[in-house]
Amino acid sequence: MTYATSHSSAGFEGPGAGFIGGAGLVVLLWLGAVVVLGGAGAFQAEAGEPPLATLTALVLPPLAFLLLLRVPGILSSVLAVDPIWLTAMQGLRILGVGFLFVYAFGHLPGLFAHIAGWGDLLVAALAPVVVARLAADRGFLRSPMYFGFHVLGLLDFVGAVGAGLVARGTIPLLGMSESTSALGQLPLLMIPCFAVPLWICFHIAAFAQIGASRRAARH
C-alpha cells in the first residue's frame, strides 16, 4: 500500500548543527554519568529490594525528553530528524541477545533473559524491514504498521522490566526470588541504564513525527 505524500515523503532536511551538537553533548554527559555511577556501585540493589536506582535511570531520561518536546524549537528539530535513522537505531537492540548468553552462564534469571533477549531480537530483526519500507515510501511514516513497530518496541521494554521485577521477587507473582545483580554491574548495566532509555527516546521521537505527519496530511 502506498500512502499519500506530504512533507514527510519529500525528505527530511535534518536538524541544525546546534541541535545535533547539543544533543550529542547531553548524550555523552549522560553516558559518562552512568559509567561513573555504575563503577561506584550506585545501581546495585540488595536482594529483595526494588532496584530503584536502575528504574530511575531507565524512566527519568524519557520523561525529561517528553518535557523538552514541549519547547517549540526542540520539537521542530526532533521532527526534522530522518525517521529512517530513528528506526535504524532500533536495530542495535540486537545487543539484548547478550542477556541470553549471560543467562547461559548462570548470571541472570531465565524468565528475564528470555523475554528481554528474544524481544530485543524480534525488534532488531524487524528494524531493517521497516527501514526499507520507509526508504521506498516516506508516506509509510503514517501507516499503522510503522506505528505498530514502535508500539512493539515499547512493549518489549515493558515486558522485560516486568519480567525482571517478577524474577527478583519485587513483584511477587510467581514466588520467585532470583538474583538480577548482574544488571547493576558494568558492563551489563549500560543496557537498562543507558541504552534502553535512549531507545525509548527514539520511540517517543518517532511517535511525535507520526503525529505531525498525520496532522499535515489532513490539511
Q: What is the DSSP string of the chain?
A: --PPPSGGGS------HHHHHHHHHHHHHHHHHHHHHHHTTTT---TTS--HHHHHHHHHHHHHHHHHTTSHHHHHHHHHS-HHHHHHGGGGGGGGGHHHHHHHTTSS-HHHHHHHHHHHHHHHHHHHHHHHHHHH-GGGGGSHHHHHHHHHHHHHHHHHHHHHHHHTTSS-SS------GGGGSTTTTHIIIIIHHHHHHHHHHHHHHHHHHHHHHT-
Q: Does 3 fall in a domain?
A: no
User: How many domains in the chain?
Assistant: 1
Q: Does 8 fall in a domain?
A: no
pLDDT at 57: 97
pLDDT at 22: 96
Q: Does 201 fall in a domain?
A: yes
Q: Does 189 fall in a domain?
A: yes
pLDDT at 47: 76
pTM: 0.92
Q: What range does the domain containing 172 cover?
A: 13-217
pLDDT at 178: 87
Q: Does 126 fall in a domain?
A: yes
pLDDT at 11: 52
Q: Does 1 fall in a domain?
A: no
pLDDT at 177: 79
Q: Does 172 fall in a domain?
A: yes
pLDDT at 46: 84
Q: Does 2 fall in a domain?
A: no
pLDDT at 169: 87
Q: What is the pLDDT along the chain (219 residues), one digit of tens a residue?
A: 544 444 434 456 789 899 999 999 999 999 999 999 999 999 999 877 889 999 999 999 999 999 999 999 999 999 999 999 999 999 999 999 999 999 999 999 999 999 999 999 999 999 999 999 999 999 999 999 999 999 999 999 999 999 999 999 888 887 777 889 999 999 999 999 999 999 999 999 999 999 999 999 887
